[in-house]
Amino acid sequence: MSVSNNTVLRVFQRPVFVLAVRIFLGGVFIYAGASKFWDLRGFALIIEEFDLVPLWLLPYVAVGLPSLEVLAGAGLVLNVRGSLAAVTGMTVLFMGVLGYAMYEGLVIADCGCFSPGELPAGYDDGSALKDAFIRDAGLLLACCFLFVSSIQKRSAEKIL
């Protein structure tokens, strides 16, 4: 049993695996942010449905959030310091907004996670928000993995 656990642990600690997770996670954020630029007005309308941002602030959030997603995603791909914290913070924020919407029983056709206008199956009963929440939990798990791997790497460098 411990041999298989050690094998799995060694696979997760390989630099190529950590790099793949970092590129995947950064790519998701680059894609999510870039796809919103195609329809900023549609994205602003989606944000408005959550009723969390004052109307006067909507245009700034509709431009700023995708910009931050693209920059943080690119930073993560390029291993820029602070980008993992930014991606993790946004993921937690998105999960909080989705959790709020589910708690309030909001029926929102499009969560705004990727390009505006995508109407997933189950939006009328709230299951699309749950699916987006679960997807974001997976992204958060990837963030945690990258944090742990960076801590392990730093502690190994101190020993050497």
Q: Could you report the per-residue pLDDT of 105-134, keeping only the tens digit for each?
A: 888 877 788 766 665 555 666 678 888 999
Domain boundaries, the chain: 2-159
Please answer whether residues 67 and 53 qualify as being in contact, where contact means their C-beta atoms are separated by less than 8 angstroms.
Answer: no
Tell me what pLDDT residue 39 has.
87
Give the residues of the chain that fall short of pLDDT 70: 1-12, 115-126, 152-160
**Burial zone of 116 (CB within 10 Å; 0-12 exposed, 13-18 middle, 19+ buried):** buried
3-state secondary structure of 36: helix
Tell me what pLDDT residue 115 has.
67
